Amino acid sequence: MGWKPRRRSGRNTLGALAAAGIVLAATACSTPQAGGDGGGDGEDGGSEGPFTIGVSNGFIGSEWREQMISVLEDSFADYESEGVVDELVVESADVDVNGQIQQIRNLIRSDVDAIIVNPNSPTALDQVFAEAADQGIAIAAIDQAVESEHVTNVVIDQAEWASISAEWLAGEVGDGGRIVAVNGIDGHPANEARWSGAQEVFDEAGVEVAANDYAEWDQSQGQTVTRDLLASNPDVDGVFVQDGMALGAMQALQSEDLVGDVAITGEARVGYMKEWNTLRESDTDFSSIGVPNPPSVSVSALHVVVRQLQGEQLADGELENGNTLHLPIPETVTDDNFDERFAEVEDRPDAYAVDHNITPEQADGYFE
């Protein structure tokens, strides 16, 4: 993987605080002991810590990212109460690739032991990843995979994720059906992986994609883009929409009185599920789907990097493509299980995404 843990005798704490974006002092609470033998700079190259963890988040334009950071803070607090970690250094801003490179260099200067990154590009960060690896920093990419050999991708398979919704929609519109697609950010690695997976399904099912546009994972833009696509393509049978925009797309269908006439993929978020519930109560024929995209992938990555820092090695066969640890995609929300799944989250805020992460014990299972 190109990463080896470093051994350090101390930290320049004031320098780290100055160079970092935000340092979050987590509150202590009870937690299971982190997995691994730990040890203390032994032959396995690991350390018992405590470890400083950095976070590079280069896009803040969605509630999903806010939840991703929030749940990570909570899990970090659990580890801190056990003395496993000490500081969480967060670089989070709406930046381009160059801005994210600067974020990661800030974290390197902050003397972090590991970096969890939600990357803006699959390849453009390779050089700065190598710089971090040269300093003995463990790196985990979340939400979307990168190609660097210095990084362990801890992700769901985004192409597979999108194919689940696409297969449902293809079944709804049938061979020869016509759809429009509302995607995320043009060129963004998660968007490209998702759309690749969905397109493959549509091609195999004989579904025509009449038009495709981007709404940047924003509900308001999702409504506007969907409305414009429907105006330009009035005879479509369905709308494929990525999560973070499905409620907006549904509102566009409602404003045009097309609910029930045009099938739409949904999302496993409370706001959309509330509308889904209302429509189920008023129209027994209404159908939808929501495939969870868990923000707590950040928590799963934290479990992984802690074990790497403690000197554990991922077991043979766990990595795909040399550097990718694929997490299970959570159970899809369907008409069949909707009542149970909605009851679990209906009291959450509308922006809350149905969530899931591997437990510390499950993380242990990925290691030797």
Q: In the CATH hierarchy, which fold is given to the domain comprising 51-156+295-327? A: Rossmann fold (3.40.50)
Least confident of 29-43, 139-153, 340-354: 29-43
- Which residues, 6+ apart, have CB-to-CB distance to 193 below 8 Å? 144, 145, 158, 159, 162
Q: What is the pLDDT of residues 283-301, one digit of tens each?
A: 778 999 999 999 999 999 9
Would you say the CATH fold of 158-291 matches that of 51-156+295-327? Answer: yes
Structure tokens at 178: 């016509």
* Per-residue model confidence (pLDDT) at position 17: 31
In this predicted structure, what is the pLDDT of residue 45? 61
Q: What is the pLDDT, as a whole number, of residue 25? A: 32
Q: Would you place residue 8 in the very low, low, confident or very high pLDDT band (cuts 50, 70, 90)?
A: very low
Q: Are 155 and 143 in contact (CB under 8 A)?
A: yes
Q: How much of the chain exceeds pLDDT 70, in percent?
A: 88
49: left (phi over 0), alpha (psi -120 to 50) or beta: left
Q: Is the pLDDT of residue 246 over 80?
A: yes
**C-beta of residue 25 within 8 angstroms of C-beta of residue 59:** no
The helix (H) or strand (E) run that includes residue 104 is helix 97-109
Residues contacting residue 121 through CB under 8 Å, at least 6 positions apart: 97, 100, 146, 189
Q: What value does the mean pLDDT of the chain take?
A: 89
CA distance 91 to 197: 31
Q: For the chain, what are the domain ranges?
A: 51-156+295-327, 158-291
Annotate 60-84 with b (16+ C-beta within 10 A) or e (fewer): eebbbbebbbebbbebbbbbbeeeb
Q: In what side-by-side order are the strands of the sheet with 208-214?
A: 208-214, 178-183, 238-241, 263-264
Would you state the pLDDT for residue 109? 98
How many C-beta neighbours within 10 Å does residue 159 have?
A: 19
Among the four given CATH numbers 3.40.640.10, 3.40.50.2300, 3.20.19.10, 3.50.50.60, the one describing domain 158-291: 3.40.50.2300
pTM for the full predicted model: 0.86
Structure confidence at residue 357 (pLDDT): 97
CA dihedral 362, 365, 366, 368 (to 10 degrees): 150
Report pLDDT digits (tens) over 129-166: 999 999 999 999 999 999 999 999 999 999 999 999 99
